[in-house]
Structure 1
Amino acid sequence: MTSCREPKELEYRDFKNLSSEKLGFSTSTFKLDLIYYNPNNFGLQLKRTDLDIYIDSNYLGHTAQDYQISIPRRGEFTLPMIIEVDMKNAYKNAIPALMGKEVMVKITGKIKLGKANVFKTFDVNYEGKQKFSF
């Protein structure tokens, strides 16, 4: 019966390990790990993400990745992300973030989740305050 049940939404918990991979004037690449919790009584598999990231309503960057991540049931898991950042918009947001001010982070897009090789695309629409410490 649980195999037919629609999975509950994954819960965002935190991020860690923010690092720069490639710095440029127009675009840069950053890596970070997102921590999520799976509230479902069953494990899932994450196959794909396609997300846009905004800080204080300003577009920051995009990430689109293919994965094969096993998500444990009722447990936290780490989602490694590589984000292509539009540096023009990042400069607008860098000063408040560096000063430790809380900023509104918005993540929109789609993820592909499944179980037993049956995958479904889900909308992502997260918005919440985040304090960055560099």
Structure 2
Amino acid sequence: MRFFIFFCILIVLITACNKPQSFEYRGMQNLKIDSIGLVASKISLELVYFNPNNFSVDLRNVNCDIYINHNYMGRYVLDTLMHIAKRSEFIIPSSMNVDMKNVFKNALGTFLSREALVEIKGSTRVGKSGIFITVPFTYTAMEKFSMF
């Protein structure tokens, strides 16, 4: 009888602990050039995401590579702990160094078309109650850029 009760409790715990869903990318805002150089430049922006989970989660350690028109632009690392409410939008402040030789390769094409293919590939650690898992993510979309 004790084994049956233990088994029932175990089944309830396993089904109650849902794996977190990936965050939904909603866009970027407040793009700002902090410094410009011939070799590297520093940009900052805010990334807007939505948490589709029916529970709050903690976000820790975002690591990703940014590509524009299939050319590597730079690596973004966020090493902080953020609490994200259930079913809500949230903003991740971002800052990164950009490899300017790849920017110069794409500048004319991006300027003429006013849009570019943005690819973000990386992973993050999300969790609840101190238990974290690594969740890989990819994002690919055509983004419109306005120079003026």
Structure 2: tracts of 5 or more residues without a match: 1-12
TM-score, normalised via structure 1 length: 0.91
Report the CA distance between 1:109 and its aligned residue. 1.1
Corresponding residue of 1:124: 137
**Structure 1: unaligned runs, 5 residues or longer:** none
Kept in 2, the 8 Å contact 1:100–1:133? The answer is no
The answer to whether residue 67 in structure 2 is matched with residue 67 in structure 1 is no
* Whole-angstrom distance in 2 between the partners of 1:115 and 1:91: 43
* Bigger fraction of residues in helix: 2
Matched, 1:44 2:57: yes
1:108 aligned partner: 121
Q: Report whether the alignment pairs 1:76 with 2:82.
A: no
SS in 2 for 1:48: strand
Question: Of residues 15, 21, 28 in structure 2, which corresponds to 1:8?
Answer: 21
The 2-side partners of 1:82 and 1:21 are apart by: 9
Aligned-pair CA distance for 1:96: 3.7
Instruction: Give the Å deviation of 1:119.
Output: 1.1
> Any idea what SS the aligned residue of 1:5 has?
coil
Q: Which residue of structure 1 aligns with residue 71 of structure 2?
A: 58
Which protein is richer in strand relative to its size?
A: 1
Aligned partner of residue 89 in structure 1, secondary structure: helix
The SS at the match of 1:28 is strand
2:10 corresponds in structure 1 to none
In structure 2, relative to structure 1, the CA distance for the partners of 1:3 and 1:44 (3 Å cut) is farther
Considering only CA atoms, is the larger Rg found in Structure 1 or Structure 2?
2
Rounded to whole Å, the distance in 2 between the matches of 1:69 and 1:97 is: 34
RMSD: 1.6
Shift of 1:99: 4.3
The alignment's TM-score, normalised by the length of structure 2, stands at 0.83
Helix, strand or coil at the partner of 1:93:
helix
Within the alignment, does 1:92 sit opposite 2:101 as a pair? no
Question: Residue 97 of structure 1 contacts residue 131 of structure 1 at CA under 8 Å; is this kept in 2?
Answer: no
